[in-house]
A and B are shown apart, each in its own frame.
Chain A
């Protein structure tokens, strides 16, 4: 069953939070995971749920040879 918008946002946030420090997720990894759990979820919902998380500063885009979505953390490459 497709999730209502607010629940989808939390579903994605949990996924990103659980992956933090273990695996960096790309937008497409998130979309594929959502569609696996909720096959009837429209793809556009996923796009806008990610936008919601980014615009609300709960998640940020990072770049490490590719663009990822992560929980905000200390400025990375400065220390790498």
Chain B
């Protein structure tokens, strides 16, 4: 075992420590022992000793295995190769304990025993194995019905919130959409053929529990079109303190409906007068605040579906971006043909026009929303406008005049 005085300090805090866990595994796995060694070394050097990429993978797949090496293998031979295996998670991350044991047994046999539940991709991440163990590990996984997730310039493993399995705010079946999308894009997940990564994340409502708006190229966020359902008696009960705020989980005795709810509505579309709550639903932007505060009194509407947004990513070529509304409302019903076709069109437009490592959001900014909508065949509707136009010039095309003469407007 390496001496790890810096890491040892991490064990002294109040929380369960990953160092303690790693030390336990280090007793039986050389990789874990050297992992601690190289981590201690990095804490001292204040630089990572990992590099990634290369050629490793399993036959037929260009995704799911991430080659990982260290730059000082002579000192830490146990982690000279320390490849990552991404295992496609079940929708909503529901496992039986039997399934978890099965996965742990496979990884105990073929890897470092260290895993990450779950990576920000959504997959279960098996951390660290050698090249010769990749095919046997993959074979063991597929024999039990598991598959690898996406990596590289490919469709990434879609992920979703627990949706209708646990949550009454889910505006569509997030788990089903996630599962069907995973099935529909198997080719694109396992055989990288895009300019860069493409992620789909599905949240059932605007609370956005999988942070789709910031972490997915295609962010699917549940929404309703009609009115928030109000139970006026329950509103009164909140006001009177019969129903406690946060179900009794705070120091506050009762909700101040005006200060805590209506005054915080971002579009100022609510009022509470004479013991009656009213909402001007036309101006509600579905922020979820009022529903989160009074879950027993307010419910999402009944005409539900999702808003599609495109383009969020972390900084690589350009700075970070949030996703941008491209379809204000789509009814999300199986078999999701409209959704699948739109993703296909986006892939095609992006593959045709994107530069190496350019994400969809960056391409959308570089070529402009007009080119995007034309390229993927979507109508530009008012909800898709993020900022009013600043350029006073408007260029007319000859086709516009011809179209106008034929009774239509603005075709270009």
Contact = CB atoms under 8 A, between A and B. Distances in A.
A19 interface: no
B60 A63 contact: no
B81 A57 contact: no
B281 interface: no
Contacts of A69: 62
Contact of B53 (A57, A60, A64): A64
B314 to A, nearest CB: 14
B85 to A, nearest CB: 14
B153 A77 contact: no
B290 interface: no
A37 interface: no
Nearest to A62: B55
Interface string A37-80: 00000000001001100110100111111110110110111101
B195 interface: yes
A50 B196 CA distance: 18
Given A50-B191, A62-B55, A73-B55, A26 B154 contact: no
A77 B191 contact: no
B62 A61 contact: yes
Contact of A27 (B52, B131, B193): B193
B194 interface: yes
B278 interface: no
B357 A66 contact: yes
A28 interface: yes
B53 A51 contact: no
A80 B54 CA distance: 9
B19 to A, nearest CB: 27
Residue with the highest number of chain B CB atoms closer than 10 Å, among A28, A47, A80: A28
Nearest to A77: B54
Given A26-B153, A26-B356, A51-B191, A67 B62 contact: yes
A80 B193 CA distance: 24
A69 B152 CA distance: 12
Contacts, number: 92
Contact of A76 (B53, B153, B196, B356): B53
Interface in B34-81: 51-57, 59-63, 66-67, 69, 80-81
Nearest to A57: B59
A54 B151 CA distance: 17
B55 A76 contact: yes
A67 B55 contact: no
B52 A66 contact: no
A77 B60 contact: no
Contacts of A55: 59-60
A67 B192 contact: yes
Contacts of B66: 63
Nearest to B56: A75
A78 B196 CA distance: 23
Contacts of A78: 54, 69, 80-81
B192 A27 contact: yes
A23 to B, nearest CB: 11
Nearest to A54: B60
A78 B356 CA distance: 24
B195 A26 contact: yes
A77 B57 contact: no
Contacts of B151: 63
A35 to B, nearest CB: 10
A66 B357 CA distance: 7
A77 B51 contact: yes
Contacts of B18: none
Interface of B: 51-57, 59-63, 66-67, 69, 80-81, 131, 151-154, 187, 191-196, 351-352, 356-357
7 contacts: A26-B153, A26-B193, A55-B59, A60-B55, A61-B192, A63-B152, A66-B357
Interface of A: 26-28, 31, 47, 50-51, 54-55, 57, 60-67, 69-70, 72-73, 75-78, 80
Given A60-B62, A63-B55, 10 more contacts: A47-B191, A50-B191, A54-B62, A63-B52, A66-B357, A67-B154, A69-B62, A75-B56, A75-B67, A77-B54
